[in-house]
Amino acid sequence: MPSKDLDLIVVIPSYHEEGLMRAIQSLLACHVNEAKIEIIVVLNQPESQNAIQSYHELQRKELMGLKATGAIEILDLPVFSLPNKAAGVGLARKIGMDEACYRFESIQKDGIILCFDADCTCHPNYLQEVREAFKKMPKINALSIGFKHRMEELNEFTRDAIIQYELHLRTYIGWQQYFNYSMAFQTLGSCMAVRSKAYQQQGGMNKRKAGEDFYFLHKYSVLGQLAELKPLLVYPSGRISDRVPFGTGKSVNEIVKAKVPLMSYNPNGIKCYCNFYTKLCDSWSSIKEGNSWRSIPSSDVLTEFLVHAGFEEALSQDLNHSTTKQVFAIRIGRFLNPFRLMKFLHAASGSDFPEIPVQVAATKLLLAKKEIKELESLNSLELLQRMQL
């Protein structure tokens, strides 16, 4: 039975990860005050790779041999051999988060489930800042936590690639925020937290092999229950990896191989989509009274994209079930969600809104926000450092 004072559980999926002990030591070094905290490590491998089982068993013993503080306990879980078809970070994360829920339910507490990765380190104030954020925002059920990729261990080419990749992430979300898109959040699996009750209410973690974090966090963004914890508290690895179909490691690998500057989404395409969502919400009552949604200023390429995606049927249903602008914004936001924004930008990149170099997109954003001067010329690292402030 967990301590009745248990406040937060850190969940770490780990597959053949050499940096696991460093990640744990980083957590153990955190300031926790009087909080009671547990760490759940889900050591796992596909059943077809059971040769890795012995490596994971050694890690399990090493974990139990670590000197945890009085406030932080490392739970002893078995090594999981997962079905090949389902094995992956989504299922591993779900196993740990479900276990965390079970433990909080056993003491009748709505505790915090904090997701971390086995290749990460963190700031000493990490655990304390997450707890304080939830205390200060009682209506918020999930957090997207500030991050900064580690670069000190990387060679020149990989370092340049992760600089470009993180710059793209920050620029893409930065433009969405600039255009007041309410669902503009970073979605890294190692940088998110959720209340236990809200986790259960939204059906828990999915089993996707990649992108599980994106789909999970946006369950809360569409409801207005997701907030950003801005301090850079988590330091993910910037290494090359091919473990998942997409994500940081895969993207870094592709950038290194390409040997050309990374391209990013066109800010005008982001503006088109975000402004349409805002104007649609502002116009909900007049559209409900019979005015056409096509009267809202937009581009032909977005109109065509929305029609083909089934927008008119979704709009009709959402209008019928909405009594206020706020309700309508949530309902239609499920359709005009961040995933559909990304699909639109991909579709429009061959016509009205071609992709542009990430350094150009980032420079334009900082100029628009008046954070740099017109004549300043910054390289990718300098642009990234400005965005990390």
Superfamily in which the 6-155+168-247 domain is placed by CATH: Spore Coat Polysaccharide Biosynthesis Protein SpsA; Chain A (3.90.550.10)
pLDDT of residue 239: 62
Place of tokens 């334009």: 364
- What's the pTM value of the predicted model, to 2 decimals? 0.94
CB of 118 closer than 8 Å to CB of 12 = yes
| Rounded Cα gap, residues 178 and 181, in angstroms | 8
pLDDT of residue 154: 83
pLDDT of residue 251: 65
| Rounded Cα gap, residues 27 and 53, in angstroms | 25
pLDDT of residue 250: 67
Q: Which residues pair with 264 in a beta bridge?
A: 356
Query: For the chain, what are the domain ranges?
Result: 6-155+168-247, 267-348
Sequence letter at residue 149: H
Sequence letter at residue 232: L
Per-residue tens of pLDDT for the chain, all 389 residues: 899 999 999 999 999 999 999 999 999 999 998 889 999 999 999 999 988 999 999 999 999 998 777 799 999 999 999 999 999 999 999 999 999 999 999 999 999 999 999 999 999 999 999 999 999 999 999 999 999 999 988 888 889 989 999 999 999 999 999 999 999 999 999 999 999 999 999 999 999 988 999 999 999 999 999 999 999 999 998 766 555 555 666 666 676 676 778 999 999 999 999 999 999 999 999 999 999 999 999 999 999 999 999 999 999 999 999 999 999 999 999 999 999 999 999 999 999 999 999 999 999 999 999 999 987 889 999 999 999 98
Instruction: Give the 3-state secondary structure of residue 369.
Output: coil
**b/e for 125-162, b at 16 or more Cβ within 10 A?**
ebbbbbbebbeeeeebbbbbbbbbbbbeebeeebbbbb
Q: Provide the sign of the torsion angle of the four alpha carbons 138, 142, 146, 151, taken in this order.
A: positive
pLDDT of residue 88: 94
User: How much is the CA Rg of the chain, to the nearest whole Å?
Assistant: 22
Among residues 244, 129, 229, 131, the alpha carbon closest in space to that of 185 is found at: 229
**DSSP letter string, 14-74:** ESS-TTHHHHHHHHHTS--TT-EEEEEEEEEEEGGGGGGHHHHHHHHHHHHHS---SSEEE
Give the single-character DSSP code of 294. G
Instruction: Give the 3-state secondary structure of residue 234.
Output: strand
| Rounded Cα gap, residues 360 and 171, in angstroms | 10
Q: Provide the sign of the torsion angle of the four alpha carbons 117, 123, 128, 130, taken in this order.
A: negative
**DSSP letter string, 108-171:** T---EEEE--TT-EE-TTHHHHHHHHHHH-TT--EEEEEE--B-TTS-HHHHHHHHHHHHHHHH
